[in-house]
């Protein structure tokens, strides 16, 4: 088990996980235009992906985008795109991946927005401070 920052050169492997993640959460499959936009965002360091490699394959990922937070008046991160292939779940990868991403990102705090059914899972890997509800604005 090896934890890494995922760069643009690993984008094909990341794309496989992104598509599986979208299917699992019931969202539309990303288009080629959206995937190209994501690749550019990674190249421009607008988003940072972290992953777990087992048997020379990327089997888990998460992303962190940086923001400034008045929660602690400093650099903070928003965790998204958290996905572990089903056959690799319940082996401690989640906690290790989030810890690695947190340490590598250099943020002072890390937040996540999630469905109510996912709260116990996120609490079990270290997200314990309730900051209200997160909503997305859109039409």
Write down the pLDDT at residue 116. Answer: 85
Write down the pLDDT at residue 117. Answer: 85
Helical residues (DSSP H) of 5-138, grouped into ranges: 11-25, 32-43, 93-105, 119-124
pTM metric for this prediction? 0.91
* Average pLDDT value for the chain: 93
Q: List domains and CATH numbers for the chain.
A: 2-124 (3.40.630.30)
Residue owning tokens 């299917």: 23
Paired sense of beta strands 57-69 and 74-84, if any: antiparallel
Write down the pLDDT at residue 46. Answer: 95
Cβ count within 10 A of residue 99 = 14
Asked if pLDDT for residue 115 goes beyond 90, the answer is no
pLDDT digits (tens, 9 = 90+) for 42-93: 999 999 999 999 999 999 999 999 999 988 899 999 999 999 999 999 999 9
Query: Comparing C-alpha atoms, which of 116, 115, 51 is closest to residue 88?
Result: 51
Asked if pLDDT for residue 138 goes beyond 80, the answer is no
Angstrom distance (rounded) from CA 31 to CA 29? 6
């Amino acid at each position: 088990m090896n934890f890494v920052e995922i760069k643009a050169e690993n984008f094909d492997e990341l794309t496989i996980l992104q598509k599986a993640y979208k299917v699992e959460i019931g969202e539309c499959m990303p288009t080629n235009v959206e995937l190209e936009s994501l690749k550019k965002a990674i190249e421009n360091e607008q988003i940072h992906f972290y992953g777990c490699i087992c048997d020379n394959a990327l089997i888990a990922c998460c992303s962190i985008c940086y923001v400034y937070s008045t929660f602690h008046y400093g650099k903070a991160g928003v965790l998204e795109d958290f996905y572990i292939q089903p056959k690799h779940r319940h082996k401690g990868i989640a906690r290790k991946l989030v810890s690695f991403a947190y340490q590598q990102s250099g943020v002072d705090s890390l937040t996540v927005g999630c469905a109510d059914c996912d709260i116990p899972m996120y609490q079990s890997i270290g997200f314990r401070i309730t900051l209200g509800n997160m909503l997305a604005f859109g039409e």
